Each structure stands twice: as structure tokens, then as C-alpha cells.
Amino acid sequence: MTGALEGRTALVTGASRNLGKAIAERLAAAGATVAIHGRAPRGEAAGVAAQMRRDTGRDHLAVAGELDGAAATRSVVQDALDGLGGRIDILVHNAGPFSMTPFATLAEDEWDEVWDVNVKAAYVAAQVVAPAMREAGWGRVVVISAGSAYLRNHAVYGLAKQALGFLAEELALELGPAITVSAIAPGQIEESAADIAEYDPTFVERAVAHTPAGRLVTRAEVAELAVLLCGSQFAMVTGATLPVDGGWRFNRF
């Protein structure tokens, strides 16, 4: 994929660290100029953008802001549009806070944060970038779902991640043929194992034991698939949710 996205522009939300950062770096390696979104001005996203500028010689930039409402999301996307010359060819919506609070005790503000950043921000961002993509005759939208979409004990987070698969299908119908829209549903990511252990210390061990592939997926593997979905090899893939979990999601009786 080196050079396959030369001349393309991209916005990756939640890209100051972890999976989002890996996706942004992989898009840049494939030739794209990338807007890296983070929550805080002059935060980690700015450092990521600076390093990517040094690595590639292209004018990658950082954009900052919350994604917890329509106005805030539009502001972030508009900043990215302005910084990228008025065009975003590729949107990767990766931002999305996690929750395992049961519905019976879930506070409304926690519901709002998880739902709005994971789902509402995805539709608002797509709505903002779609007109220029259509005018150009080419666009790619990739939303990052999760293996939690296949579980029923991750409450509103699982609901939100499953909703992203539905949104990808609906947007694929509405925005084609110029724009393809797909979702990626990673299983537990190896480098983030410590994060989930704070919620459930046994989760990772059980996940590996339950996975036919015998290991967890890596950020690099998910990032590579995100970039492939933007290339010509995957031009006929749209409206799909692609699990990347080594078979972990399969029920066994």
C-alpha cells in the first residue's frame, strides 16, 4: 500500500494515541496527508502530527475538540477541512469512550457520552465530509466498531458499537457509488490488554483461550485493514462490518 493513497487527505478521530494513532501513521505511510484529532489543543495529537511531518515531509496537522455533540463534532471536522485545503477524502471514526456500567445503574450522562462520541459523531462527521467526496467522485468512510458489539455485558458501549455496523450499511446505501462505508470490529487488542484488565482481570486470559487463532489482534493489523479499505483492492466492499478477532466472537456450546 506504500504510495497507494498519494494525494489523498484523511481525518482520523481519536488519533492522538493507541489504535487511532496507528491508523493515522499507516495512512501517512500509504501517502495520505492526515489530520490527527485529539481532545486537547497542543496535546498528544500535536506531537503525533509533528512526528509524521518529519517522517513523511507532508503537511499533517492536529485538530482538537470534543466529539460529544453535533456542534462540537462539526467544528472539529471543519477545522480538519480547512487545514486540508477544503477536502477530506478519507474519514476514519475511531474515537469512542468505553463503558461496562450495567443498564440498571447507568447514569444518563454516561449513556450520552458513550453514545454521542461513538455513534452520533460518526453520522455527523460523515454528513459534513460527504458533499465534497461526492463532488470529487471518490470517498472512503471507515468506522471502528468493536468485538463488544457481539457481547451482551458491555452495556451501552456494545450497543453503540453494534449501531455503527447498522450505520455503515445505511450510509453505504445513501452515499454510494462514489463513497464506500465500512466498519471494522476488532477483538481485544493486544497492546490494550492492560486497559480491559482494569475492568475485568480475567478477560484477556479467557479471550485468548476462546480464540481459534490463539492470540489477540494487534493495532498494526487493524490499522492495515483500515488502510486497505481505502484502496482499490477493496473498492467493492461497502456496508460491511469486518471482524478482526481471530474467530473470538464465535459462540461455542
Decide: helix, strand or coil at residue 12: strand
Q: What is the pTM of this model?
A: 0.97
Q: Closest by alpha carbon to 147, among 163, 161, 136? A: 161
Q: Which of 124, 99, 125, 103 is nearest to 114 (CA)?
A: 99
Q: How far is CA 129 from CA 8, 57, 80, 141, in A?
A: 14, 25, 10, 9
Cα distance from N-terminal residue to C-terminal residue, the chain: 40
- What length is written for the chain? 253
User: Comparing C-alpha atoms, which of 185, 79, 161 is closest to residue 125?
Assistant: 79
Condensed to tens digits (0 to 9), the pLDDT of residues 46-100 reads: 999 999 999 999 999 999 999 999 999 999 999 999 999 999 999 999 999 999 9
Domain boundaries, the chain: 9-240
Q: Please identify, in words, the CATH class of the domain defined by 9-240.
A: alpha beta
Percentage of the chain surpassing pLDDT 70?
A: 99
**Residues 8-26 pLDDT 10s:** 999 999 999 999 999 999 9
